[in-house]
Amino acid sequence: MSDKPKFAMYWAASCGGCEIAVLNIHEKILDVDANFDVVFWPVAMDAKYKDVEAMDDGSILLTLFNGGIRNDENEKMAKLMRRKSKILVSFGSCACEGCIPGLANFSNVDEIIDTAFHTLTTDNGSEFKLQTHYSVPEGEIHIPTLLPRLKTLDQVVKVDYYMPGCPPESHQIAAVIDLVIQVLQGKATLPPPGATIGVGNSTVCDECKRARNEKKIKYFTRIQLTHPDPALCLLEQGIPCNGPATRSGCGALCPAAGAQCIGCYGPAEGVMDYGSRLISSFASVIDGNTPQEIEKVIDGIPDPAGQFYRFSLAGSLLRGSKTVKSN
Amino acid sequence: MTDQFEPVIIGFTCNWCSYRAADLAGTARVKYAPNVRLIRMMCSGRLDPTFVMKAISGGADGVLITGCHPGECHYIEQNYKALRRFILLKRTLTQMGIEPGRIKLVWASAAEGVRLATEITKMVEEVRALGPLNWDHHNGHQPLAISHQPEEVAA
Amino acid sequence: MQRLTIDPITRLEGHGKIEIFLDEEGNVANTYFQIPELRGFERFCVGRPVEEMPLLTNRICGVCPEAHHMAAAKAADAVYHVDPPPAAKKLRELLYSGFYFTDHTTHFYALGGPDFIMGPDAPVAERNILGVIHKVGLEIGGKVIQARKYGHTIVEMIGGRKVHPCTSIPGGLTKGITEEQRKEIEQMGRWGIEFAQFSIDLFNKIVLGNKAYVDLIIGDIYTHHTYYMGLMDEKNKVNFYDGKVRVVDPDGKEFVKYAPKDYAAHIAEHVEPWTYLKFPYLKNVGWKGFVDGKDSGVYCATPLSRLNAADGMATPLAQEEYEKFYSTLGGKPVHQRLATHWARLIELLYAAERIVELATDPEITSPNFHTIPTEKPTEGVGIVEAPRGTLTHHYWTDERGVLTKVNLIVGTTNNYAPMSMSIKKAAEAFIKKGVVVNEGILNRVEMAFRPYDPCFGCATHSLPGQMPLQLTIRNAKGEVVEVVKRD
Amino acid sequence: MSDELNLENAEERIGVYVCHCGTNIAGIVDVPEVREWAEKRLKNRGVVLARDYKFMCSSLGQELIEKDIKEHQLTRVVVAACSPHLHENTFRTACKRAELNPYLCELVSIREQVSWVHTDKQAATDKAKAVLSGGVERVRHHQPLEPLRVPIHPATLVVGGGITGIQAALEIADAGRRVYLVEREPSIGGHMSQFDKTFPTLDCSACILTPKMVSAGMHPNITLMTWSEVTNVSGYVGNFVVTIKQKARCVKTDLCTGCGICQEKCPKKVIDEVYEAGLGYRKAVYTPFPQAVPKFPVIDIPNCTYFQKGTCKACEKFCPTNAIDFNQKDEEITVEVGNIVLATGFDLFDPRRIPHYGYGRLANVFTNLEFERLTNAAGPTNGNIVLRDGKTTPKVVGIIHCVGSRDRNYNNYCSAICCMQSLKFAHIVKERTGATVYNFYIDMRTAAKAYDEFYQRVLEEGTLFVRGRVAEVTDAARLPGEEGKLIIQVEDTLVGKQRRIPVDMVVLSAGLQSRHDSKEVAKLFGISCSADAWFIEKHPKLDPVSTMTDGVFIAGCCTGPKDIPNSVSQGSAAAARVLTYIDRGEITLEPVRASINETQCSGCRICNNLCPFNAILFHADRMVSEVNAALCQGCGTCVAACPAGAISGTGFSNEQIMSQIEGLLLLNLNGARTQEKEMAFA
pLDDT at D674 over 60: no
- Separate counts of helices (H) and strands (E) for chain D: 17, 34
Chain A nearest-CA residue for C146: A26
Chains D and C touch (3+ CB pairs under 8 A): no
Q: How far is A214 from chain D (nearest CA, A)?
A: 6
Q: DSSP class of residue D633?
A: -
Residue A318 lies in a domain: no
D605 CB neighbours in chain A (<8 A) are 212-215
Is the peptide bond between C273 and the residue preceding it cis, with omega within 30 degrees of 0?
Answer: no
**Dist. CA D287–CA C191, nearest whole Å:** 96
A286: β partners = A217
- Whether the pLDDT of residue C411 is over 80: the answer is no
Q: Is the ipTM of this complex over 0.90?
A: yes
CB-based contacts of C235-239 (< 8 A; 24+ apart in sequence): C235/C311, C235/C312, C235/C314, C236/C310, C236/C311, C236/C312, C237/C310, C237/C311, C237/C312, C237/C313, C237/C314, C238/C306, C238/C307, C238/C310, C238/C313, C238/C314, C238/C347, C238/C350, C238/C385, C239/C314, C239/C385
Inform me whether the C-beta atom of residue D635 falls under 8 Å from chain A C-beta atoms.
no
Tell me which residue of C223, C385, C224 sits closest to C302, measured CA to CA.
C385
In total, chain D counts a number of residues equal to 682
Chain B nearest-CA distance from A276, in A, is: 5
Residues 6+ apart with CB under 8 A from A259: A223, C160, C166, C167, C169, C174
In this complex, the chains that touch A, judged by 3 or more CB pairs closer than 8 A, are B, C, D
Residues in chain C: 487
Q: What is the mean pLDDT of residues C236-252?
A: 97
Residues in D closer than 8 angstroms to A163, CB to CB, are none
Please indicate, yes or no, if residue A196 is contained in any of the structural domains. Answer: no
User: Is the pLDDT higher at B1 or at D282?
Assistant: D282
- Under DSSP, the state recorded for D45 is G
**Average pLDDT score over residue span C437-462:** 58
Q: How far is CA A158 from CA A98, C260, D6, in A?
A: 16, 47, 14
List b or e across C145-172, with b for residues whose CB sees 16 or more CB atoms inside 10 angstroms: bbbbebbbbbbbbbbbbbbbbbbbbbbb
Higher pLDDT, B25 or D670: B25
Does residue D231 register a pLDDT over 50?
yes
Phi, then psi, of C365 in degrees rounded to 5: -95, 10
Kindly give the interhelix angle for C86-106 and C340-359, rounded to the nearest 10 degrees: 140
Backbone torsions φ then ψ of D331, nearest 5 degrees: -120, 145
- Residues D404 and D410 sit within 8 Å (Cβ to Cβ): yes
Q: Determine the average pLDDT of the residues in D219-224.
A: 97
CB–CB contact B74 D7 (8 Å): no
Q: How far apart are CA D399 and CA A184, in angstroms?
A: 99
CA distance linking residue C4 with residue C476, whole number of Å: 11
Residues in C touching A42 (Cβ below 8 Å):
9-10, 13, 15, 462, 468
Domain C83-223+336-372 class in CATH: mainly alpha
Please list the residues that pair with A206 across neighbouring strands: none
Worst-scoring range by mean pLDDT, A291-305, B64-78, D95-109?
A: B64-78
Question: Strand (E) positions, D160-212?
Answer: 179-182, 197-198, 203-204
Q: Is the pLDDT of residue D673 over 80?
A: no
D342-369: pLDDT as tens digits: 999 999 999 999 999 999 999 999 999 9
pLDDT band of C4, cuts 50, 70, 90: low
Question: Does A314 reside within a domain?
Answer: no
Asked whether residue A137 falls in the same domain as residue A174, the answer is: no
Q: Which amino acid appears at position D381 of this protein?
A: T
Closest approach of chain C CAs to the CA of A101, in angstroms?
Answer: 6
Phi and psi dihedrals of D272, rounded to 5?
A: -90, 95
| Residue C464 pLDDT greater than 60, yes or no | no
Q: List helix spans (H) across C5-51.
A: 41-44
Mean pLDDT taken over chain B: 86
- Residue C330 has a pLDDT of 87
* Percentage of chain C modeled with pLDDT above 90: 57
Yes or no, beta carbons of A123 and C457 under 8 Å apart: no
CB-based contact, A268 to chain D, within 8 Å: yes
Contact, D596 vs D646, CB < 8 A? yes
Residue C16 pLDDT grade (very low, low, confident, very high; cuts 50, 70, 90): low
Q: What percent of chain D has pLDDT over 90?
A: 85
Count of structural domains, chain A:
3
Q: Which pTM was predicted? A: 0.82
Reference B44, options D317, A35, D640, C322; nearest CA is D640
State how far residue D524 is from chain B, nearest Cα, in angstroms: 9
Give C483's pLDDT tier (boundaries 50, 70, 90). very low
Q: What distance in Å separates the CA atoms of residue A213 and residue D623, rounded to the nearest whole number?
A: 11
| Domain boundaries defined on chain C | 2-37+434-485, 83-223+336-372, 224-335
Q: What is the C-alpha to C-alpha distance for residues A92 and C461, in angstroms, rounded to an integer?
A: 14
Which chains border D (3 or more CB–CB pairs < 8 Å)?
A: A, B
What pLDDT score was predicted for residue D266? Answer: 94
* Encoded amino acid at A235, one letter: L
Helix count and strand count (H, E) for chain C: 16, 16
Q: Which residue of chain A is at minimal alpha-carbon distance from C129?
A: A44
Tell me, yes or no, whether A10 and A67 share the same domain.
yes
Nearest to A194 among B84, B135, B148 (CB): B148
Which of the pair, B101 or C465, is modelled with greater confidence? Answer: B101
Of residues D116, D548, D658, nearest to B16 (C-beta): D548
Residue contact A317–B50, C-beta within 8 A: yes
Contact yes or no for C159/C166 (Cβ under 8 A): yes
Asked if the domains at D156-345+547-584 and D347-513 fall in one CATH topology, the answer is yes
Of A46-50, B13-17, B113-117, D45-49, which range is least confident? A46-50
Residues 6+ apart with CB under 8 A from C262: none
Question: In this predicted structure, what is the pLDDT of residue B138?
Answer: 42
pLDDT at A227: 96
3-state SS string over D272-306? ECCCCCCCEEEECEECCCCCCCCCCCEECHHHCHH
| pLDDT at position C17 over 80 | no
pLDDT at D677 over 50: no
Q: Where are the domains of chain D?
A: 14-147, 156-345+547-584, 347-513
Rounded distance between C-alpha atoms, residue A100 and residue C250, angstroms? 40
Name chain C's partners: 3 or more CB pairs within 8 A. Answer: A
Does position D678 have pLDDT exceeding 90, yes or no?
A: no
Task: Looking at the structure, tell me whether residues A47 and A97 fall in a common domain.
Answer: yes
Asked if A230 and A209 sit in the same domain, the reply is yes
Q: Are residues A156 and A116 in the same domain?
A: no
**pLDDT band with cut points at 50, 70 and 90 for residue C5:** low
Give the Å distances, CA to CA, from D565 to A204, D48, D164, D345, D376: 64, 55, 9, 14, 21
- pLDDT of C474 strictly over 60: no
Output the pLDDT for position C482: 47
> What residues in chain A have per-residue pLDDT under 50?
1, 326-327
pLDDT of D3 > 60? The answer is: no
pLDDT of residue D378: 86
Show residues of chain D in contact with B19, CB under 8 Å: 85
Q: How near does any CA of chain A get to the CA of B37, in Å?
A: 21
Task: Tell me which residue range forms the domain holding A294.
Answer: 204-309
**CA–CA distance, D13 with D26 (Å, rounded to integer):** 26
Q: CATH number of D14-147: 2.60.40, 1.10.3470, 1.20.140, 3.40.50?
A: 3.40.50
Are both A48 and A126 inside the same structural domain?
Answer: no
Chain pair A-C, CB pairs under 8 angstroms: 260
How crowded is residue A325: how many other Cβ atoms within 10 Å of its Cβ? 12
Q: Closest residue of D to B85, CA-based?
A: D641
Tell me what the mean pLDDT of segment D578-605 comes to: 94
**b/e for D282-293, b at 16 or more Cβ within 10 A?**
bbbbbbbbebbb
CB-nearest partner of A271 from D5, D637, D645? D645
Q: Which CATH class is domain D156-345+547-584?
A: alpha beta
Q: Are D66 and D98 in contact (CB under 8 A)?
A: yes
Query: What is the arithmetic mean of pLDDT over C231-253?
Result: 97
Q: Please report, for residues A176, A255, B67, D386, the alpha-carbon distance to residue A62 in angstroms, rounded to integers and kept in the order given.
A: 12, 34, 51, 104
Residue type at position D13: R
Name the range with the highest mean pLDDT among C234-238, D6-10, D42-46. Answer: C234-238
Nearest to A317 among B57, B89, B148 (CB): B57
Contact by Cβ (8 Å): D15, D104: no
Write down the architecture of domain D347-513 according to CATH: 3-Layer(bba) Sandwich (3.50)
> Are D643 and A245 inside 8 Å of each other by CB?
yes
Which residues pair with residue A163 across a beta bridge? A91
Q: Is residue B6's pLDDT more than 50?
A: yes
Distance from CA of B115 to the nearest CA of A (A): 21
C299's CB contacts (< 8 A; 6+ apart) are C226, C227, C228, C229, C247, C280, C281, C282, C305, C414, C418
Backbone φ and ψ for B135, nearest 5 degrees, come out as -60, -45
- Number of Cβ within a 10 Å radius of residue D81: 28
Task: Test B58 with D665 for CB contact under 8 angstroms.
Answer: yes
Please name each of the domains of chain B with its CATH number.
9-154 (3.40.50)
Quick: pLDDT tens for D155-183. 999 999 999 999 999 999 999 999 999 99
- Sheet with B103-107, edge to edge strand ranges: B36-41, B9-14, B62-67, B103-107
Same domain for A84 and A131: no
The predicted-structure confidence for C171-228, as pLDDT tens digits, reads as follows: 999 999 999 999 999 999 999 999 999 999 988 888 888 888 888 778 787 889 999 9
Residue A53 lies in a domain: yes
Q: Which residues of A touch D603 (CB under 8 A)?
A: 205-206, 212
CB D534 within 8 A of CB D560: yes
**Across the interface, do A154 and B150 touch by the CB < 8 Å criterion?**
yes
Cβ pair D650, D593 in contact under 8 A: yes
Nearest CA in chain C to A101: C39
Task: Supply the DSSP symbol for C333.
Answer: P
CA distance A270 to A202: 11
Taking residues C257-282, report their average pLDDT. Answer: 94
- CATH number at A84 reads 3.40.50.700
Best of D129, D642, D665 to substitute, by most chain B Cβ atoms within 10 angstroms, is D665
d(CA A283, CA A271): 18
Within an 8 Å CB–CB cutoff, is residue D612 touching chain B?
Answer: yes
Tell me which chain A residues have a C-beta less than 8 angstroms from the C-beta of D625.
none
Interface test with B, best of A105, A149, A322, A326 (most B CBs within 10 A): A322
Chains touching chain B through at least 3 C-beta pairs below 8 angstroms are A, D
Alpha carbon of B111: minimum distance to chain A alpha carbons (Å): 23
Cβ proximity of D548 and D536 under 8 Å = yes
Q: How far, in Å, CA of A83 to CA of A73, rounded?
A: 15
Sheet-wide strand order for D497-503: D470-474, D486-492, D497-503
Cβ A11 vs Cβ C154: under 8 Å: no
Flag whether pLDDT at D293 surpasses 60.
Answer: yes
Contact: B71, D649; criterion CB under 8 Å: no
Hey, is the C-beta of B88 within 8 angstroms of any chain D C-beta? Answer: no
Chain A residues lying within 8 Å of C271, measured CB to CB: 117, 122-124, 128
Q: What is the mean pLDDT of chain C?
A: 85
Interface test with A, best of C2, C6, C9, C10 (most A CBs within 10 A): C10
Sign of the torsion angle spanned by Cα atoms D494, D498, D501, D506: positive
